[in-house]
A and B are shown apart, each in its own frame.
Chain A
Amino acid sequence: MATTATGTTPFTYDHGHEHVDDRSFIRKYIFSTDHKIIGIQFLIMSLTFLLLGGMLAMVMRWQLGFPGKPLPGGTLLPDTYTSGGVVLPEFYNSAVTMHGTFMVFFAIMPLLVGVFGNYLIPLKIGAPDMAFPRINMASFWTAVPAGLLMLAGFFVEGGSAAAGWTSYAPLSARSDLTGVHLGQIFWCVSLIVLGLSSIMGSFNYITTVINLRAPGMNWFRLPLSIWALFVTACLVLLAIPVLSGAAILLLFDQTIGTHFFDPQAGGQPLLWQHLFWFFGHPEVYILILPGMGMVSDIIANGARKPVFGYTSMVLAIIAIGFLGWGVWGHHMFQSGMNPTLGTTFMISTLLIAVPSAIKTFNWLGTIWKGQITFHVPMLHALAFVSMFVIGGLSGVFMAASPFDIYIHDTYFIVAHLHYVLFGGSLFAIFAAVTYWYPKMFGRMMNPTVGKVHFWLTLVFYNCTFFPMHQLGLHGHMRRIYDPTQYAFLKDLQPVNTFISISAFLLFATQFIFAANFIMSWFKGEKAPNNPWLDNGLEWTLPSPPPHGNFATVPTVYRGPYEYSSPHSDQDYIPQNVPTPGGGYGAPHTQPAGD
C-alpha cells in the first residue's frame, strides 16, 4: 500500500479518503477532487456566464430593436460604454464579441463537457471517480481564472475584446484598428489558460472511459451520453491545442511584435482563419454532440423504449467526430481562399448532414410505438430534436457554396447558429439539468414551474430566432451596430423590433428557471434514488451519491436502454440487475434487425 497510496507523479490516481468521508469543508466543496462536486462547480460557473452572455445579448437587441434610444439603465454605465444612455459602437462591438466568447467558451462548452462530462462519466460507467481526480480539480481551478481574466476586459482601458468571437486578424492583432489593446490581449491569454483546463479535462475523460469501466460495461453497453462525451473529449483534446497555438501567435503579434498575421511583413491574415476554423469546426460538434447523447438517454426514458438503432447512433457520433475535421473551409467560402477548395469543402460539408439525419430519424424511431411520458426533461429533449432539425436543415443552405455567397455573414447565419446552439445545445442542457438535478442535489425541481418555463422558452425562442432567417434572406449583415444606415434594411426595422421584444421576454423567462433551480435546491421535494425509473448505474445510488460513488463495484448485465423488455414485469431493468434465470446478460443492445 505504502508504495501506491500516495501519488507517484502528478498524474497518479488519488487514493485518499476512501473509507470515511472526513474531509474538511474546503477539501469537500472548494478544492474538491470529487468529480460530482467539480461538475456542480462547473455548473455554477457556466450558468453565471450564461447569464452574463444573455445580458450582453439584451444590450445588442436593444440597440438593434431601438437604435439610438437610450438603453434602460444605460446612464449608469461608464461614458466609454454609453452616451446619454445610448449604446456606443464601442460597447456594441464589445458586446458582440463577448456574447459569443462567453456563450461558446464559458457557458455552453463547460455546461456540456465540464458539467456533464464530469458528473456523468464515472457514475454511468461504474467508476469511483475520474482517472486523475487531482488533475480534474486543477481543470476547474484553471477555468476560473480564465473566466475572470476574460471578464476583466470590461474593466480595463479600451474595454474588452471587440474583434468578434472569431477574432479575425489583422483586426484583432492591431490595436489601432479596434481601439482595444489590453482587452484583446486578455482575450488571447484567457483562451490559452482555458485551453489548458479543457485539455486536462479531456484526457482525463478519455482515460476514464477507456480504463475505468465496471465489469460488463463493454463498449456497446455504454449509454449514448457517454459515447458522445467520449468522442467530444477526443475532439476537445485534438482541437483545443490548435486554438491555443493560434491564440499564442496572435498574442505575440499583439505584444512582442511578431508578424504572423501582418501582411506588410509577409504574414497571412487567412492563416488565422484556417487555424481558427480548423479548431472551430470540431468545436461546433463539441457543442452539440454531448447534447445529442444526453437527449438520446432522456428520449428513451421518456418513451419507455430502447433507443432505436443504438449501433447506428454510435457510428453516427463517431462519423461526426471524424468528418468534423474536414469541413472547416465552409466558414471561409468568401474569404478569398482557393475557389477549387470551395467545391471540396461544399461536398464534405453536405455529407456531414448524413450522420445528423441518421440521428434525427433514430430519435423519431425511438418514440415510435412508445409510451411517452412528458416529464420536463422529456419536453426539453423533444424540443431539442424539433429545433435541431431546423438548425440542421438551415445548414444545407450555407453548405451550398453559391448560395452562401449571398447569405454568408448575414442574419441567416445568426439564425442557423442559434438554432443549433440554443435550440440544440441549450435545450439539451435544460433537459439534462432537469433530468440529473435530483441526482446532483437530492431534490426534485418543481415540475409545474418547469413546464411553464419550457413552453414560454419554446415560444419566445422561436419568435426571437426564426425571423432572423428572413432578415438574412433580405441581406441583413451580421454584427452591424445600426441597420437603419442602409436603405434596403430600413423597412426591416419592425422585424428587428419584434425580435428584440421576443428576446427580452425569452431572457426574462430564464429567471423562472433560475428561481426553480435555486428554490428547489433548498426547498425541493426530496428525490428518490431513481425518480425517472432509468436503467443507468447512477440511479442505483442514493441522491446525491456518496464520495467514491459505488460501495461495491457494480456488474453490468445489459445495455442502458432496456425499457419495456418482455424479460421483466416492470418497464425497465437497471443495468446492474442480473438477468432472471442467470447468465451474464444477453447482448440486447445490438439491433435485432428486421
Chain B
Amino acid sequence: MGNFLSWMLPPGASTFVGDIDWIYYLILVVTGVAFFAVEIALVVFLVKYRKRPGGKATYVHGSTRAEIIWTSVTAVVVVVIGLLSAPAWDKIKGREGVPPNAMPIGIAAKQFEWNITYPGADGKLGTTDDFTVRGQLHVPVDKPTVATLTSVDAIHSFFVPSFRIKQDAVPGMHIRVWFQPTKVGEYELGCAELCGLGHYRMRAIVTVHTQEDYDRWVAQQAHAVAQR
C-alpha cells in the first residue's frame, strides 16, 4: 500500500490531465507550505511557551500590522489560485469549450447501466445508422469526443478517473461533456453520484482505439445491428 500513500496523482490518458494535474500540484505546494508553517509554529510555540514555574505570559492584545499582513497575503494567494484555475474550467466545462470537430455520442444513464449511442459511419447522431451499446464506451484516440449526457431515472455521474472528467447526468437535462483520449487502452467508467442500490456496480469499460480499430469496431457493430 506504500505507493498509494503517495501524493502523486495516478497516470491519466486524456488531454485534460495536463490542464488539471498541474493545478493540483500547485495547490499541493501552496497548501503544503502553509500546512508545515502552521503546524511547525504550533508545535514550536507549545514547547517553547509551555508553563514554567514563576513564568508570566506576555500581556498583548494583538497586532494590527500582523492582521493586515496575513489577511492580505492569504487573500492574494487564494485569488491567484482562482485566476490560474479559471481557464482550465472554461476549457473543460465552458459551453464554448467543446471543439467543433468533436465526434458526437449520446450517453443515457439509467439504474444501473450506461447506454451509449454511437453515430455510425456517417458520424452524425439522429440518423438511421445510429446504434446503442450497453456498458461499453469506445472512442478513437487523439480525437475529441463530445457526449450528450442524460438520465432516465435518478441523477448519475459520468466519471472516468483516467480522463480526469466527471459530469452529472441529470434527468430532464442534456448536458454536453467532452474529452480527448491520448492513450490507447482500456479504462473504467464509474458512477460517482449515489443513484440507488446498484450504484456501486454501475460500471462500464472505456476502450480507446486507434482510428482504424475504432472504424473497424463501428463497422462490426453496424453489421451486427443490420443482421438483427
A residues apposed to B, CB below 8 Å: 89-90, 93, 96, 163-164, 168, 170-171, 174, 177-179, 263-264, 267-270, 303-312, 333-336, 339-340, 342-343, 346-347, 350-351, 353-354, 357-358, 360-362, 364-365, 367-374, 382, 385-386, 389-390, 393-394, 396-397, 399-403, 405-406, 408-410, 467, 470-471, 473-475, 477-483, 485-488, 491-492, 494-495, 498, 563-566, 571, 588-594
In B1-56, the 8 Å CB interface with A consists of 1, 4-7, 9-10, 16, 19-20, 23-24, 27-28, 30-31, 34-35, 38-39, 41-42, 45-46, 49-52, 55-56
Distance (Å) between the CB of A567 and the closest chain B CB?
9
Whether B4 pairs with A492 at a CB distance below 8 angstroms is: yes
The CB with the most chain A CB atoms within 10 A, among B67, B90, B165, is that of B67
The CB with the most chain B CB atoms within 10 A, among A164, A339, A405, A563, is that of A405
Whether B60 pairs with A369 at a CB distance below 8 angstroms is: yes
Whether A264 pairs with B85 at a CB distance below 8 angstroms is: no
Additional A-B contact list (4), CB under 8 Å, known A263-B172, A339-B94: A396-B78, A400-B27, A487-B188, A571-B57
Question: Considering the complex of A and B, which 3 residue pairs feature the smallest CB-CB distances, nearest first?
Answer: A263-B172, A475-B161, A591-B62
Q: How far is the CA of A480 from the CA of B10 in the complex (A)?
A: 20
Whether B31 pairs with A393 at a CB distance below 8 angstroms is: yes
Whether A400 pairs with B199 at a CB distance below 8 angstroms is: no
Q: Of B56, B81, B171, which contacts A564 at CB under 8 A? A: B56
Whether A590 pairs with B79 at a CB distance below 8 angstroms is: no
Q: How far is the CA of A177 from the CA of B194 in the complex (A)?
A: 11
Q: Of B62, B75, B79, B89, which contacts A362 at CB under 8 A? A: B62
Whether A495 pairs with B56 at a CB distance below 8 angstroms is: no
Q: Of A178, A270, A333, A410, which contacts B196 at CB under 8 A? A: A178
Q: How far is the CA of A351 from the CA of B19 in the complex (A)?
A: 23
Q: Which residues of A sit under 8 angstroms from B194, Cβ to Cβ?
A: 93, 96, 163-164, 168, 171, 478-479
B residues apposed to A, CB below 8 Å: 1, 4-7, 9-10, 16, 19-20, 23-24, 27-28, 30-31, 34-35, 38-39, 41-42, 45-46, 49-52, 55-67, 70-71, 74-75, 78-79, 81-82, 85-86, 88-90, 92-95, 111, 153-155, 157, 159, 161-162, 164-168, 170-173, 175, 188, 190-201, 203
Q: Which residues of A sit under 8 angstroms from B1, Cβ to Cβ?
A: 492, 494-495, 498
Whether B170 pairs with A270 at a CB distance below 8 angstroms is: yes
Whether A336 pairs with B89 at a CB distance below 8 angstroms is: no
The CB with the most chain B CB atoms within 10 A, among A264, A374, A479, is that of A479
Q: Of A312, A364, A385, A470, which contacts B62 at CB under 8 A? A: A312
Whether A477 pairs with B60 at a CB distance below 8 angstroms is: no
Q: Which residue of A lies closest to B34 (CB)?
A: A393
Q: How far is the CA of A307 from the CA of B58 in the complex (A)?
A: 12
Whether B190 pairs with A486 at a CB distance below 8 angstroms is: yes
Whether B19 pairs with A402 at a CB distance below 8 angstroms is: yes
Q: How far is the CA of A590 from the CA of B203 in the complex (A)?
A: 59
Whether B153 pairs with A168 at a CB distance below 8 angstroms is: no
Q: Which residues of A sit under 8 angstroms from B172, Cβ to Cβ?
A: 263-264, 267-269
Distance (Å) between the CB of B227 and the closest chain A CB?
32
Q: Of B59, B88, B153, B166, which contacts A306 at CB under 8 A? A: B59
Identify 12 residue pairs between A and B in the complex whose beta-carbon atoms are under 8 Å apart, listed by A's number.
A177-B154, A308-B60, A336-B168, A340-B94, A369-B60, A371-B56, A374-B50, A405-B20, A467-B4, A564-B56, A593-B62, A594-B64
